[in-house]
A and B are shown apart, each in its own frame.
Chain A
Amino acid sequence: NAGVTQTPKFRILKIGQSMTLQCTQDMNHNYMYWYRQDPGMGLKLIYYSVGAGITDKGEVPNGYNVSRSTTEDFPLRLELAAPSQTSVYFCASATGIFSSTDTQYFGPGTRLTVL
């Protein structure tokens, strides 16, 4: 298993540009998450999904959109990039079974800079 994979690893955007961060998992997990991590801080939840076709907002959803058309993929869309979106983005997945004791598996992250 490759686990959770994310592309690209690094990206520089200009203000106002848009892009999609890709996330794929091959563990047949139902739950998927997007987090962002600013320097020196912990991770904050952007969006999450409990299954294909079902998504919901987390703590910091403004400026982002997601979709979940398949179990494997959970892309994160940035529209009109702003400097405040400079961060490291992590995707994670979990089985969702016995949810209170389920563990999350994280991807390696995408480092995004908006100039």
Chain B
Amino acid sequence: DAKTTQPPSMDCAEGRAANLPCNHSTISGNEYVYWYRQIHSQGPQYIIHGLKNNETNEMASLIITEDRKSSTLILPHATLRDTAVYYCIVRVFDSGYALNFGKGTSLLVTP
């Protein structure tokens, strides 16, 4: 399974862009990168996923490097409600496509 490495914590000022990095240097060519977040011990919430192209939705943007060894989740205008733990996950192709959660990055958005 491809492993991911994320910084344990980050801060961001409200209204600024939050850029959360993730390293996945052992990712295979057909494995997708997923991002989920968990707000205050609630159930994790899907944010975005991608294979090799940059992706954008109403919540965030995902930038994947050309060699696919790292990616960055961008929250363009962070709000206090974006304070959460963010998980970068490479999708495993066994265990019914379960999600392999690491410890994630704890993002604190400050006023």
The answer to whether B44 touches A31, judged by C-beta atoms less than 8 angstroms apart, is no
Pick the interface stretch among A11-19, A77-85, A98-106.
Answer: A98-106
Q: How many residues of B contact A (CB 8 A)?
A: 24
Contact residues in A for B46 (Cβ distance below 8 Å): 103-105
Contact residues in A for B100 (Cβ distance below 8 Å): 45
By secondary structure, the B interface counts as: loop
Residue of B nearest to A104 (CB): B99
Per-residue A-contact encoding for B72-105, CB less than 8 Å = 1, 0 else: 0000000000000001000101011111111110
Interface size class of A (residues with CB under 8 A): 20 to 34
The answer to whether A40 touches B103, judged by C-beta atoms less than 8 angstroms apart, is yes
With A40-B103, A42-B87, A42-B102 as contacts: A100 and B43 at CB distance below 8 Å: no
A94 sits at the interface (CB 8 A): yes
With A40-B103, A42-B87, A108-B42 as contacts: A33 and B98 at CB distance below 8 Å: yes
* CB of A104 to closest CB in B, whole Å: 6
A115 sits at the interface (CB 8 A): no
The answer to whether B43 touches A106, judged by C-beta atoms less than 8 angstroms apart, is yes
CA distance A5 to B6 in the complex (A): 30
CA distance A107 to B44 in the complex (A): 8
* CB of B97 to closest CB in A, whole Å: 5
The answer to whether A106 touches B95, judged by C-beta atoms less than 8 angstroms apart, is no
Partner of A45, one of B42, B44, B45, B95: B95
Among B7-60, those with CB < 8 Å from A are 30-32, 34, 41-46, 49
9 smallest A-B Cβ distances: which pairs? Answer: A106-B43, A42-B101, A43-B101, A48-B96, A103-B46, A99-B97, A45-B98, A42-B102, A50-B96
Write the residues of chain B forming the contact surface with A, with a CB cutoff of 8 angstroms.
30-32, 34, 41-46, 49, 87, 91, 93, 95-104
Write the residues of chain A forming the contact surface with B, with a CB cutoff of 8 angstroms.
4, 31, 33, 35, 40-45, 48-50, 56, 58-59, 88, 90, 92, 94, 96, 99-109
